[in-house]
Amino acid sequence: MGKSLYDKVWEAHEVERMADGRSQLFIGVHLIHEVTSPQAFGMLKDRNLSVAYPGRTFATVDHIVPTHSQERPFLDPLAEEMIQALDENTVAHAIKYYGIGSGYQGIIHVVGPELGLTQPGTTVVCGDSHTATHGAFGAVAFGIGTSQVRDVLATQTLLLEKLKVRKIQLNGRLQPGVTAKDVALHVIGLLGAKGGQGFAYEYAGSVVEHMSMEERMTLCNMSIEGGARSGYCNPDAKTCAYLKDRKHSPKGLDFLKSQRHWLSWASDDDAIYADTVELDGNTIQPTVTWGVSPDQVVGVDGVIPASASDDVIDYMGLRKGARIKETKVDVAFIGSCTNGRLSDFESVAPLIRGQRVKAGVRALAVPGSEAVDRKAQETGIATIFKDAGFEWRKPGCSMCLAMNPDKLVGDELCASSSNRNFKGRQGSARGRTMLMSPLTVAASALRGHVSDPREVFGL
């Protein structure tokens, strides 16, 4: 019987199978940041433990960094205290740390792949639920809590229950103006915010095969929004090409050897899945959330459903049956671990060249890493965004969550390329978030209301 990638990676990394069915699993790559690691280092200290495999943990700083000026000390003393703790912990435990100005700092799920840390067939964990992003490379990647960060630091292993695998077969091709983000939102809308509980998602089919590595990262990134702790794509030639010449990728003969084993982790043709869902990529529309849970989605041409609950409608200030396209936008945000990569800005830049963000809309473009920022500056992309009326910021998580100065005010409504539309997520208890692709954010920013990128940009 064939095996899925998930089964193969799990078996290769299993240290021990417990009597209760759980496994002690070896972790190939551990990524840490300033929010969920300081307490874990504290727990190690309390128990007088050291870091078992410091060469397998990598750090950067992302959640709390201001995106305006990143000069130290930060104006926010709490943020400064957190970054200092990371500075100290990485030095004390000899952990590689890509801090501000290193040329590699950024959102951890943008930086890991850029550095070549994420490889097919390895296990990747981070104290952050969007760790499934790394599954785009055919890694088994998932978010963990701080006590588990402690476990990985102390032992490079975790005690885990194996997930079932659901294959999401995406057939056909995406239409112009439809992106990986739309696919992710569409899948979550279909299967529900908790539909993936107990599952790892394998994204497969011609839609995924045609996606770039960065699009696959966007797709895998949102797995947790559908309740799936992990999500992945099978490695192929694109995966290997992406990894060539990355800072921490194997070089020379090691790279050639690695390519062979990387491809061998892919699911077998006759792999057994606990469940399979087939979707037609041709019919997926640019998709937008209208509510406060990521499964509350509608095509950009659609209307707010009559079945919507009254308290959500009240919170969002919407009307049942109203076209989502009529919704006025106060803030536009392109960035985050979902959509803050170079290709996200590259895809938008030619479309907004020479145009202006609607007066009254605050528009932010926040590169996911120093590397993304550097390339966007070199190629003139950053200038195009600035000329169109976007603020071009420094790298960080920014307005995806409320841990740095980038926040919504009052009941502002944000057209956002981020990943969560929970109440208060973007920093104001009454703030409203509509999740959508960078193309749809850009179209909405230009028009001042939620807009169809196919219409605005003639796609």
Partner 1 sequence: MSVIESIAGYGLPLFGDNIDTDQIIPGRFLKCVTFDSLAEGLFYDSRFESNGNAKAHPMNTPKYEDASILITGNNFGCGSSREHAPQALQKSGFKAIIAGSFAEIFFGNCTTLGIPCVTMEEGFRLELMAQVESNSTEHVKISLEELVVKFGEWMWPISMKESARLAFLKGSFDPLSELLSRRAKVESLEQQLPHVWDLS
Question: Where in 317-346 is the site for partner 1 (CB under 8 A)?
Answer: none
Residue list 219-238, contact with partner 1 (CB under 8 A): 224, 227, 229
Please identify which residue in 32, 79, 178, 414 interacts with partner 1, judged by CB under 8 A.
79
What is the largest distance, in Å, between two alpha-carbon atoms of the chain?
A: 64
- Residue 360 sits in the site that holds partner 1 (CB under 8 A): no
Q: For strand 96-98 and strand 14-17, is the pairing parallel, antiparallel, or unpaired? A: unpaired
Q: Which is nearer to partner 1, 128 or 330 (CB)?
A: 128
- Residue 164 sits in the site that holds partner 1 (CB under 8 A): no
CB 385 to partner 1: min, Å: 26
- Residue 157 sits in the site that holds partner 1 (CB under 8 A): yes
- Residue 121 sits in the site that holds partner 1 (CB under 8 A): yes
- Residue 96 sits in the site that holds partner 1 (CB under 8 A): yes
Q: Which is nearer to partner 1, 144 or 456 (CB)?
A: 144
- Residue 401 sits in the site that holds partner 1 (CB under 8 A): yes
Residue list 280-299, contact with partner 1 (CB under 8 A): 293
CB 79 to partner 1: min, Å: 6
- Residue 256 sits in the site that holds partner 1 (CB under 8 A): no
- Residue 190 sits in the site that holds partner 1 (CB under 8 A): no
Residue list 418-437, contact with partner 1 (CB under 8 A): 420, 422-425, 427, 429-430
Please identify which residue in 5, 8, 10, 26 interacts with partner 1, judged by CB under 8 A.
26
- Residue 259 sits in the site that holds partner 1 (CB under 8 A): no
- Residue 249 sits in the site that holds partner 1 (CB under 8 A): yes
- Residue 258 sits in the site that holds partner 1 (CB under 8 A): yes
Site stretch for partner 1 (CB under 8 A), options 45-53, 179-187, 300-308, 352-360: 45-53
